[in-house]
Structure 1
Amino acid sequence: MSLSASAMASSGAPSVLAAPSVVPAKPRAAATEVTEDVLYGSIAGVIGKYIEYPFDTVKVRLQAQPDHLPQLYRGPIDCFRQSIHADGLLGLYRGISAPLVGAALETSSLFLFERLGRDTLVWSGFCPRDVPLSLPALWFTGAFSGMFTSFLLTPIELIKCKIQVPGETASGTAASASATVHRRPLEVVREVYRQEGIRGFWHGQLGTLIREAGGCAAWFGGKETSTMLFREYNIRNAKKQQASPEILAKLSSDQLPLWQQALSGASAGMSYNFLFFPADTVKSRMQTSTSYGPGGTRRTFMDETRMLYKQAGIRGFYRGCGVTVARSAPSSAFIFMVFDGLKTHFPLA
């Protein structure tokens, strides 16, 4: 089921333009919808994480190269080559246990908070209860979802990034992929808590907030926009073939063909990752850096931004962008296809 399904259920009349969604047969209990969001979002998130994780490891290693040391990698292909030569393909999955938990938590939270965002718009009176949500409203609920999810996600990403990235050798030079210390998540948790206390787990929160709020607006909103355009395309073609009113009504409510679902999800994932990639780069550098700012304090978001711009200019903010956008296409496509498929074919009530 798509994002605006519950809004359509309340109106009882599907709208092709405003709500390109599957219409439930009858209104459903809020507790059932929430349970499905959490359960099916978790499953979809875990599947998506297995697909994207090797590319994410390369992305983080490219982003986190220290500004005071020679660059370790010439680009994504070189990073893949060095990493696989050092540890084999499985080395690219190092530290995946925490991200799998994080992926389940993140994806289920995104769908759950997106639902709460829609409910908030209705409760506040900004959107009438008896009409489907408009596309601008769905872009807003995506931002709402990303904003709240960022606070859950930052500690998990901090642990993941520290595991993925090689540290420094005793001589102060950057370690190559072959010298990566195999650290376990609990070791990193203890280290962060010992050095910085509870607050240390939210180092880089501003970067995560910017990425998630803006990116999730594009993720949810972009997916719904693509879905709407595909529905219009399918209905126009059906009208040219003089399809019956029953078929037209079915096209306006049924799930899209799999290839259209995949393209909608893929375009959403690519938009999410490309539009706010610089914020993610700064966040990754903050979470993996062993350097400190004036007075021995950890670098702030602006400190890290200035240092990166001074070192590499605008291009530095897009290290690993290509591989990230590429891996987000299949990952996001599968997340939406799995989530919508489970909601449609395996409803809990």
Structure 2
Amino acid sequence: MSTEEKHHTINNQNSAFKDILNGSIAGACGKFIEYPFDTVKVRLQTQGSKMFPTTWSCIKYTYTNEGILRGFFQGIASPLFGASLENATLFVAYNQTSKYLNKTTQVSELSNIIISGAVAGSFASFVLTPVELIKCKLQVANLENKIPGAVQQTTKIIPTLMNVLKTNGVTGLWQGQSSTFIRESFGGVAWFATYELVKSKLKERHPLDKDNKTWELLVSGASAGLAFNASIFPADTVKSIMQTEHTTIKKAITKIITRYGFKGFYRGLGITLIRAVPANATVFYTYETLSTLEN
């Protein structure tokens, strides 16, 4: 290996390490902001409309009966760790794929973004599925424990994890992988493409400046979050049912249609879009800021 090739390899490794570190921090910050909203979303997706006819009824019930920490933040440790892994995977996979395509192909900038986003989302789905499985089970555990005669569910991470392993084995941790893969692959395209395109469009307003302004990064991140969640929400609903009830993708889809009709695929969308704005604005802004500090 030549000296130039060695320097190139080292630079790539340093770049990947920075993406992992910055993505991890950004992901954890975004997840902490969005988690209470996510709890409400999962409960709306998995519980009957008789229990929670509206988003507000779910929020009111959770606060009144379980409080803030035990209710809205139940099981947050797992997704905090997962968000760090997910965003580290997303950013390193996206940037490394983009660099590879620029080096070896003649694809357009938009094609590069689309391909890199799809690859990043695909990789992230394998990291995300086990984390979301535990998260979803914990988010509905308090509700299931109130059902008369029901087997009491644990509300702790480690016992929940051990129960999944005991009942379904290691592969049980990837229950819902097919739906998560679909969600993240298409979602990765929507997420990165929206962010890059909005950021680029806003930058055109002041071409002489080197970087985007703070508010432009926040708007771009918020737009990316809205595009991601709006485009893949039906797959997310199916995934939540698969993971909380340990069922197949076909049975989950059938259950949603039977229980709510096609509108059931979008149950909880409103609260999800609300959470997407601050959470994704925070993720991208934090990532960009940390990356700038290291340059």
TM-score (norm 2): 0.91
Q: 1:344 aligns with which of 289, 292, 295?
A: 292
CA distance in 2, matches of 1:207, 1:104: 21
CA distance in 1, matches of 2:148, 2:29: 40
Q: Structure 2: which 5+ runs fail to align?
A: 1-8
Matched, 1:204 2:176: yes
Q: 2:96 aligns with which of 116, 123, 136?
A: 116
Q: 1:97 aligns with which of 53, 66, 77?
A: 77
Number of the residue aligned with 1:330? 278
Query: 1:135–1:224: 8 Å Cα contact kept in structure 2?
Result: no
Q: 1:149 aligns with which of 118, 124, 140?
A: 124
Residue 31 of structure 1 and its aligned partner are, at CA, apart by 1.5
Name the aligned partner's letter for residue 213 of structure 1: S
CA distance in 2, matches of 1:324, 1:308: 18
CA distance in 2, matches of 1:127, 1:167: 54
Number of the residue aligned with 1:284? 240
CA distance in 2, matches of 1:320, 1:170: 22
CA distance in 1, matches of 2:20, 2:35: 21
Residue 233 of structure 1 and its aligned partner are, at CA, apart by 2.5
Show CA shifts across 1:1-24 (max 9, x none): xxxxxxxxxxxxxxxxxxxxxxxx
Number of the residue aligned with 2:160? 188
Larger Rg, first or second structure (1 or 2): 1
CA distance in 1, matches of 2:30, 2:146: 34
Number of the residue aligned with 1:228? 200
CA distance in 2, matches of 1:271, 1:202: 26
Q: 1:79 aligns with which of 58, 76, 81?
A: 58
Number of the residue aligned with 1:140? 115
Q: How many percent identity over aligned positions?
A: 38
Map 1:246-257 → 2, pairs under 5 A:
248=208, 251=209, 254-257=210-213
CA distance in 2, matches of 1:64, 1:100: 22
Secondary structure of the residue that 2:288 maps to in structure 1?
A: helix
Query: 2:21–2:88: 8 Å Cα contact kept in structure 1?
Result: yes
Q: 2:221 aligns with which of 234, 250, 265?
A: 265
Show CA shifts across 1:118-168 (max 9, x none): 144245x3237xxxx602211221111001110111000000000001225
Secondary structure of the residue that 2:57 maps to in structure 1?
A: helix
CA distance in 1, matches of 2:145, 2:256: 19
Residue 117 of structure 1 and its aligned partner are, at CA, apart by 1.7
Name the aligned partner's letter for residue 268 of structure 1: A
Q: Structure 1: which 5+ runs fail to align?
A: 1-26, 236-247, 290-297
- Larger helix share, 1 or 2: 2
CA distance in 1, matches of 2:176, 2:106: 34
Query: 1:227–1:261: 8 Å Cα contact kept in structure 2?
Result: yes
Name the aligned partner's letter for residue 44 of structure 1: A
Secondary structure of the residue that 2:105 maps to in structure 1?
A: coil
Q: 1:218 aligns with which of 190, 194, 212?
A: 190
Name the aligned partner's letter for residue 89 of structure 1: I
CA distance in 2, matches of 1:38, 1:280: 25
Number of the residue aligned with 2:144? 167
Secondary structure of the residue that 1:276 maps to in structure 2?
A: helix
Residue 346 of structure 1 and its aligned partner are, at CA, apart by 2.9
TM-score (norm 1): 0.77
**Equivalent residues, number:** 285
CA distance in 1, matches of 2:171, 2:192: 30
Residue 46 of structure 1 and its aligned partner are, at CA, apart by 0.8
Secondary structure of the residue that 1:233 maps to in structure 2?
A: coil
Number of the residue aligned with 2:4? none
CA distance in 2, matches of 1:143, 1:172: 45
Q: 2:25 aligns with which of 20, 43, 46?
A: 43
Residue 228 of structure 1 and its aligned partner are, at CA, apart by 1.3
Residue 181 of structure 1 and its aligned partner are, at CA, apart by 5.3
Map 1:233-244 → 2, pairs under 5 A:
233-235=205-207
Name the aligned partner's letter for residue 223 of structure 1: Y
